[in-house]
Chain A
Amino acid sequence: MIHYFMANKFYSRTNFILLLYSTVFFLFTTHAYAQQMKPLVNSTLYGVVKDAKTQETLAGATVLIKGTTHKASTDEQGGFQFVTGQKFPYTLIVNYLGYQTQELVVNKSPIDILLEPNLNQLEDVVVVGYGTQKRADLTGSVSSIAADAIKETPAASFDQAIRGRASGVQVTTTSNQPGGATSIRIRGSNSVNTGSEPLYVIDGFPVYNDNDGSSAGATVGPATNALSLLNPDDIVSMEVLKDASAAAIYGSRGANGVVLITTKQGQAGRNKFQFNAYYGSQKVRKTLDLLNATEFAQLVNDANGREVYSIEQIASFGEGTDWQNEIFRTAPMQNYQLGSSGGDEKTKYAFSLNYFNQQGIIINSNFKRYAARFNFEKKATDKLTFGLHLTSSRSDANQALSATNGGEGTIGVVQSALAFSPILPVYQANGSYVLENDRGIPMGNPVATARELTNRTRSYRTLGNVFAEYELLDGLHFKTSIGADILNNKENYYAPRTTLAGYNVQGLGRVGTVNAYSILNENTLSYQHRFDEHELNLLAGFTAQKYERELVLASASGFVNDLLGPDNLGAGSLINAPITNVNNWSLLSWIGRANYGYQDKLLLTLTGRVDGSSKFGINNRYGFFPSGALAYKLSEENFIKNLHTFSELKLRASYGRTGNQEIDSYQSLARLGSMSYIIGDNVVKGFSPSNIANPDLKWESTSQFDIGLDVGFLQGRINLTADLYYKKTKDMLLWVNVPWSSGFSSALQNIGSMENKGLELALQANIIEGAFKWSANANIAFNRNKVLDLGPVSEILTGEINGYLKLNDPIVIRPGEALNSFYGYVSQGIFQLNDDIANSPQPNALPGDRKYVDLNGDGVLDARDRTFLGSAQPKHFGGMTHQLSYKHFDLSLFFNWVYGNKILNSTRTELDLPTGQKNSSARVAERWTPENPSNSIPRANLSRAFLFSDAQLESGSYLRLGTATLGYTFSKDLFKRSAIEQLRIYVSALNLWTWTDYTGYDPEVNQSGQNNILRGIDSDAYPSAKTWLFGLAVNF
């Protein structure tokens, strides 16, 4: 190593390697000769393994003499040797990751072995839970996402790269703020109340991504993405485990699917450096059309029925303030990554440093990350290997106030920029901010809120594990690991008196910290054996995981001035009671798996996991999660082989049960809540029961049946995967309403069931090969979700979802309907002057009011006339990637779409209310008046009351060109005399085109984060950006 670094200063790499190669080879062979004094030596073989195309030597390839256990791996220079009792000729089997396995007969020494790069994915090794498998041997449903996809999705976190790349996996951004979170559903939501995000397993360490759980609650707005603390550039591959066979090894946490993440590791002999960088510019994707000051003034007069603004005043208003323009900006985004990886026969390492900085398109919002990683593996002896994965990062996020649900006084920057009176300027004549909207609806000046509010989260996360693996007997390995995930958050919030939130209370400050750690110990025994036509892989293990989170939250208001803010809460005059809280859980598990292959044709996998969780009732702590899968590789049968049509033909079927434990801790205990009252003019504390204990609380479990087909044609140039599945979740951990007369509102019970069924198709094709290459990937998924049973409950009402609009129960959960179904009235235009209103179902209406359908025909419009209006779940969604290259140019285009879902656009609902108490959409200028008998926008009036109907719903379908990247790789000849091995530059455009009818900022919207019930709601959401990036990648 040291020699190499030194040498690198003086020689170009190629020259150096040649020199080193010949020197070492010479020494090596001499040394080998010297040792060759043993009996029964019938042959000595020296060889070098190389890439057939580039002639680069391949280090770390395994070479096996067929029919024996005699195995060698190639050294840094690709060389290997056998000193063996075998006589020439004999057969070698040469294996190398990413290359086709080669069997060849040798009859002389030395030889050169040329390996062809693997275009056929079947030979790829796929990471599965607690091990790896050849893709061809998979029995379950697994989608893989390669590092390329991650590279092509410049974003703070890797979850963005899953969108559209894996069939059946729906990724929805919950906030477009820098570092914003996503919500991921694999084959639909499984539950009403239980967390339905997938389990992430990062280099073997399971992490449930509960963004709210990692937040102290001091800051306001959507949670930042805890996954953004992992540097996406470190990831080499992601595997999404979708069916029960694949996920059951994660037992109680597998029901929502599992995303396995593998980070980069060095490879023997390939010491290399990498530098990647990109820099880009982001702009809001679209802005909404609103009334200008003149039109707004007319609306105010109209709604009030009197001249609030005189004609002269109105004439002087003109366009007024464009508040969107005041809060949006063109914002830079940049990322720098320096990596080094390499190793030798016994040691592998990868090291990286990363800096990511994304400024938000709303002023004063941003996200920064500093990250480092070190992965290391050492083969200490023939039998013992140990290693380490370690990453540590820090992030700083400044959030703009957004997605606040519109509660009074806390309306976010976006909503207030849309609704603030355009007549008012940003600043008063004396230079201070205009404090609030002056037309009735109180909301703060969006520029002041954006610029002056402190809403900052600083996080540190360290995720690491050490492992040791020992070969006990031939084929029998014991592996043990200890890992930890440590997350520290510090949140600062301060609303100074220049903002409305701080004005009323002379400054409002909050600080919070979360310290969370999760430690894990895993111990597995694995055994691999092949005899005749039978291949057997066994795995058994025991794991224990413990999680603990401590939270501290403090707040104060009434500050003398705004100088100290959150950094000295003690300076406030009203100090609120501090909050501290500890939350912990633990999980004990026993795992087992058997893979059996017969003639490489029939593959059987049996998996079982027993989990014990502290979260459940004393009577039901343990759960058993079994699965079984069978695959039949028809393409190995001669009658198929003889057709010469299929390069692969495999039928798969699996059935199994997985669980879900994503509920809060301590739900089975009878707990008491803390209260306070004033007695003797002093605060006294009290305690009262806060829940009904449920000692029988147990796992929610999901059974899944999956039948799949993998077909490959034309030597693997075209591959199709199809999966049909049926999932049923039962014993749902459901918050069942109990009568309020009990003093409680709900109790967590195991009740009810839900199903998801669907079809997934994924197609991969190398359409054109040669100098001009064109390959494409496409996938599409159809999922149908239905609530089957809610036990004694006839329906679940979702309550009020918007503090200001008073939208009550817009989503109703009822057996027989899909989760996330919108429920309301059916609108029917506007009452006109000559309508017979007195005899209509709405006798109190006035001309210009919205008309609704009396669905039950009883002549009265009431709550019984509501119906299901569509669901936030798409009919289908998917993605498509095209990769084209010609000589030095490469082009990739990534599309994704969602079709058939509805969005409750509550931003527009607010903007369409023609009350004149706040600004409205431009179309409100076309509102109903006696002279303008509009049939879509009601008359101006001061009332904010409205009925929730299909008029507030919009189609959420879209097709988007998510990324388009054009790259140029410089010819190697240019760098002959330098250390540079490869240089590629590229330009990318993100969100370049979106085809949609949706009128809001972006159809990919979900303000309620990871919530299962409230999906497809757009309120005060941080808008998406259109981004242009320039990047470069250098290898040396």
Chain B
Amino acid sequence: MKTIVYILSIVSGLLMTSCKDFLEEDARSDMTVGNFYKTEADADAAVVAAYDLLNNQWDIYYRGVYLLAELPTDNATCGVGVANANIFALDAFTFGPVNDRINAVYTGHYTAIKNSNAAIDNIPAISFNVAKKNRLLGEVRFIRALLYYNLVRLFGDVPLVLHQATSLNEVNIARSPAEEIYQQIVADLTFAEEYLDEANSSANNGRATKASAKALLASVYLTRKNYALAKSKAEETLNLSGYGLEESYFDLFTPENKQNREFLFAVQNKGMTGTGNGFGLALFLPRATIPLPGGGTVAGNSADVPTEEFYNSFLPGDLRRNRTFFTEYDAGAGKVTFKPHWYKYFDPAAISTLGEGNLNYAVIRYAEVLLIAAEASNELEGPGDEAYNAINRVRRRAYGLPVDRTDPAVDLRNLSQSQFREAILDERRWEFGFEGIRWFDLVRTGKLQEVMQKKGIQDVKDYHNLFPLPQRELDVNKLLTQNPGYAN
């Protein structure tokens, strides 16, 4: 009896002392804040996390942005594969604050901003080479600026979140005026252009560079109608060595040429890695149309398709049309023809594994900087040599001509300032079709209503120059207000 009591008390004594350890959480499969952000490798990984969501196609590039910046324009419409009523609503300008696609873009951007902020908050305290540290911080600040640049143009005033929330007391943030958002974008990009590498080594391909930051800054200034700064920043970009127009517009988008001197910043994708980093082709390829050698057809969806008007707007001889679209294809089992479908991002090797395309998606490229320079120059002093030279280089390539040799048949000349303005807008449409800029251009130039009316959509109002904030966001954060025109 005594022995038993003795044993019992020892056992329970042992149990008591080990209680604290026994209940300690042992999260062996998770990094936790306590054991991360310690080394240079952790800093690298924090930066990778900031990049990662850019190629989350549903939320950001390409499709998240596509559904807001191509679909509700004259460039695109809903194909037969669209089943989601929210996507039809974007096409028809009947969207409201409850729209899963708008939500996806909003959340995708802010999640990526959170990842950038986590890196910005935590990297400074890690000790390693200062130049590299600044480069890494420059990269994440570039990413953050890019994301806010999209948000401020799509939604106007938005919450300006600059630190990763670590407690629930920090999550409700009111909208900041667009002006402040732009100031932050400029501050981030200015930091980035100072500390980023001029060009990437091949091991660093895909990272933001000085050229990325300067080009984006030029675009920001253009949007802000600060033409002098836009022009000078564009020129700084164009003068960086190692960048330029690729010779062939067609080859610019091939998988073989995914790293090139024209893409100043491109979202990186790679197929067949087993990590979900492939470029997904299914949504815009024709559905049940192109026969495959092994039987069956290419598993496209025909959800995202161009308008016929866009296809037909290209002038004869413009080689960009047959890169932007295709109307026939032979996958090895016979040629078939179909209505125009997007073709710019197409990887023939992924024809039977449509989620695994090996293609990078251009966010800003040298040709755009040329057109920014031309537009800014035209706005400042009317169409002069500089402006013509810049736009004509882009045009000559489009017609398969050497970019530096004048060609009377293709070159623009003798336009008024407003004619030049129109020409730039058209040129941008033809040059950047399917690259997610059309809606931004139409809003920036005040032409959304006019253009959409031509497409047959009469109900476009001024308030459509901004998208509604997600209703869910207003429900959760009482500090927010809705954009005008979007009663909830």
**Given known A672-B36, A675-B49, A676-B277, contact A806–B23 (CB-CB < 8 A):** no
Contact with A along B458-487 (1 / 0, CB 8 A): 000000000000101101110010000000
Give the distance in Å from the alpha carbon of A580 to the alpha carbon of B29 in the complex: 8
Q: Is the CB of B19 within 8 A of A612?
A: yes
Across the interface, name the chain A residue whose C-beta is closest to B478: A792
Q: Is the CB of A686 within 8 A of B48?
A: yes
Q: Is the CB of B352 within 8 A of A574?
A: no
Q: Does A425 contact B (CB under 8 A)?
A: no
Q: Does A680 contact B (CB under 8 A)?
A: yes
Contact with B along A1023-1036 (1 / 0, CB 8 A): 00000000000000
Q: Does A503 contact B (CB under 8 A)?
A: yes
Q: Is the CB of B30 within 8 A of A666?
A: yes
**Given known A671-B31, A743-B110, contact A944–B85 (CB-CB < 8 A):** yes
Q: Does B129 contact A (CB under 8 A)?
A: no
Q: Is the CB of B48 within 8 A of A684?
A: yes
Give the distance in Å from the alpha carbon of A676 to the alpha carbon of B117 in the complex: 17
Q: Is the CB of B356 within 8 A of A574?
A: yes
Binds A, one of B185-193, B200-208, B426-434: B200-208
Q: Is the CB of A573 within 8 A of B31?
A: no
Q: Does A38 contact B (CB under 8 A)?
A: no
Q: Is the CB of B29 within 8 A of A739?
A: no
Q: Does A688 contact B (CB under 8 A)?
A: yes
Give the distance in Å from the alpha carbon of A503 to the alpha carbon of B288 in the complex: 13
In the bound complex, residues from chain A placing their C-beta under 8 Å from that of B269 are 678
Contact with A along B242-285 (1 / 0, CB 8 A): 00000000000000001100000000111011111100000000
Binds A, one of B158-166, B210-218, B334-342, B383-391: B158-166
Q: Is the CB of B110 within 8 A of A686?
A: no
In the bound complex, residues from chain A placing their C-beta under 8 Å from that of B167 are 692-693
Contact with A along B152-181 (1 / 0, CB 8 A): 000000110100111110111100000000
In the bound complex, residues from chain A placing their C-beta under 8 Å from that of B172 are 739
**Given known A575-B274, A669-B30, contact A680–B203 (CB-CB < 8 A):** yes
Binds B, one of A129-137, A268-276, A581-589: A581-589
Q: Is the CB of A683 within 8 A of B84?
A: no
Q: Does B100 contact A (CB under 8 A)?
A: yes
Q: Does B404 contact A (CB under 8 A)?
A: no
Binds B, one of A117-125, A210-218, A703-711, A794-802: A794-802
Binds A, one of B50-58, B372-380, B440-448: B50-58
Q: Is the CB of B161 within 8 A of A741?
A: yes
In the bound complex, residues from chain A placing their C-beta under 8 Å from that of B103 are 740
Q: Is the CB of A677 within 8 A of B19?
A: no
Q: Is the CB of A574 within 8 A of B46?
A: no
Contact with B along A103-146 (1 / 0, CB 8 A): 00000000000000000000000000000000000000000000
Residue among A681, A686, A740, A806 making CB contact with B470, cutoff 8 Å: A740
Interface size bucket, B side? 35 or more
Report B269-326 residues with CB < 8 Å from chain A CB: 269-270, 272-277, 288, 296, 299
Q: Is the CB of B207 within 8 A of A679?
A: yes
Q: Does B232 contact A (CB under 8 A)?
A: no
Q: Does B28 contact A (CB under 8 A)?
A: yes
Q: Does B111 contact A (CB under 8 A)?
A: yes
Q: Does B22 contact A (CB under 8 A)?
A: yes
Q: Is the CB of A741 within 8 A of B159?
A: yes
**Given known A742-B165, A806-B85, A806-B86, contact A582–B100 (CB-CB < 8 A):** no
Binds B, one of A45-53, A57-65, A744-752: A744-752
A761–chain B nearest beta-carbon distance, Å: 42
Q: Is the CB of B30 within 8 A of A672?
A: yes
Interface size bucket, A side? 35 or more
Across the interface, name the chain B residue whose C-beta is closest to A438: B288
Q: Is the CB of A582 within 8 A of B1?
A: no
Give the distance in Å from the alpha carbon of A244 to the alpha carbon of B102 in the complex: 47
Residue among B27, B42, B48 making CB contact with A671, cutoff 8 Å: B27
Give the distance in Å from the alpha carbon of A904 to the alpha carbon of B398 in the complex: 55
A895–chain B nearest beta-carbon distance, Å: 43
Q: Does A643 contact B (CB under 8 A)?
A: no
Residue among A438, A505, A666, A692 making CB contact with B171, cutoff 8 Å: A692
- The A-B contact count (CB < 8 A) is 263
Of B30, B45, B106, B275, which is in contact with the most chain A CB atoms at under 10 Å from its CB?
B30
Give the distance in Å from the alpha carbon of A105 to the alpha carbon of B113 in the complex: 87
Q: Is the CB of B48 within 8 A of A681?
A: no
In the bound complex, residues from chain B placing their C-beta under 8 Å from that of A478 are 4, 8
Q: Is the CB of A687 within 8 A of B46?
A: yes
Q: Is the CB of A806 within 8 A of B84?
A: yes
Residue among B1, B83, B118, B258 making CB contact with A804, cutoff 8 Å: B83
Q: Does A614 contact B (CB under 8 A)?
A: yes
In the bound complex, residues from chain B placing their C-beta under 8 Å from that of A749 are 168
Q: Is the CB of A742 within 8 A of B114?
A: yes
Give the distance in Å from the alpha carbon of A546 to the alpha carbon of B114 in the complex: 35
Residue among A558, A685, A740, A806 making CB contact with B107, cutoff 8 Å: A740
Report B17-70 residues with CB < 8 Å from chain A CB: 19, 22-34, 36, 42, 44-55
**Given known A739-B476, A741-B158, A863-B98, contact A688–B15 (CB-CB < 8 A):** no
Give the distance in Å from the alpha carbon of A683 to the alpha carbon of B358 in the complex: 13
**Given known A679-B48, A681-B259, A739-B172, contact A669–B268 (CB-CB < 8 A):** no
Contact with B along A484-507 (1 / 0, CB 8 A): 000000000000000000011110
**Given known A686-B49, A741-B173, A944-B83, contact A666–B268 (CB-CB < 8 A):** no
Q: Does A537 contact B (CB under 8 A)?
A: no
**Given known A692-B171, A738-B171, A793-B476, contact A586–B23 (CB-CB < 8 A):** yes
Give the distance in Å from the alpha carbon of A583 to the alpha carbon of B26 in the complex: 8
Across the interface, name the chain A residue whose C-beta is closest to B35: A672
In the bound complex, residues from chain A placing their C-beta under 8 Å from that of B367 are none
In the bound complex, residues from chain B placing their C-beta under 8 Å from that of A34 are none
Q: Is the CB of A671 within 8 A of B477?
A: no
Give the distance in Å from the alpha carbon of A745 to the alpha carbon of B107 in the complex: 8
Report A357-396 residues with CB < 8 Å from chain B CB: none
Q: Is the CB of A676 within 8 A of B52?
A: yes
Q: Does B354 contact A (CB under 8 A)?
A: yes
Across the interface, name the chain B residue whose C-beta is closest to A679: B206
Q: Does B115 contact A (CB under 8 A)?
A: yes
In the bound complex, residues from chain B placing their C-beta under 8 Å from that of A692 are 165-168, 171
Q: Does B80 contact A (CB under 8 A)?
A: yes
Report B133-148 residues with CB < 8 Å from chain A CB: none
**Given known A742-B110, A747-B168, contact A574–B29 (CB-CB < 8 A):** no
Give the distance in Å from the alpha carbon of A945 to the alpha carbon of B78 in the complex: 14
Across the interface, name the chain B residue whose C-beta is closest to A581: B29
Q: Is the CB of B270 within 8 A of A683?
A: yes
B459–chain A nearest beta-carbon distance, Å: 11
In the bound complex, residues from chain A placing their C-beta under 8 Å from that of B296 are 435, 503
Of A621, A688, A800, which is in contact with the most chain B CB atoms at under 10 Å from its CB?
A688
Q: Does B226 contact A (CB under 8 A)?
A: no
Q: Is the CB of A677 within 8 A of B277?
A: yes
Give the distance in Å from the alpha carbon of A52 to the alpha carbon of B352 in the complex: 80
Q: Does B12 contact A (CB under 8 A)?
A: yes
Q: Is the CB of A737 within 8 A of B476?
A: yes
**Given known A677-B51, A686-B49, contact A588–B476 (CB-CB < 8 A):** no
Q: Is the CB of B168 within 8 A of A797?
A: no
**Given known A675-B52, A688-B118, contact A576–B274 (CB-CB < 8 A):** yes
A444–chain B nearest beta-carbon distance, Å: 12
Q: Is the CB of B36 within 8 A of A687?
A: yes
Q: Does A885 contact B (CB under 8 A)?
A: no
B67–chain A nearest beta-carbon distance, Å: 15
Contact with B along A971-1004 (1 / 0, CB 8 A): 0000000000000000000000000000000000
Q: Does A689 contact B (CB under 8 A)?
A: yes
Report the 10 A-B pairs with minimum CB-CB distance, sorted nearest first: A743-B114, A686-B48, A686-B49, A688-B49, A675-B52, A678-B268, A945-B85, A670-B33, A688-B115, A672-B31
Q: A679-B268, A687-B46 are in contact. List 6 more A-B contacts (CB 8 A).
A: A440-B80, A503-B299, A546-B22, A666-B25, A677-B55, A686-B45
What are 6 of the A-B contact pairs (CB < 8 Å)? A676-B48, A687-B31, A688-B115, A743-B165, A749-B168, A944-B83
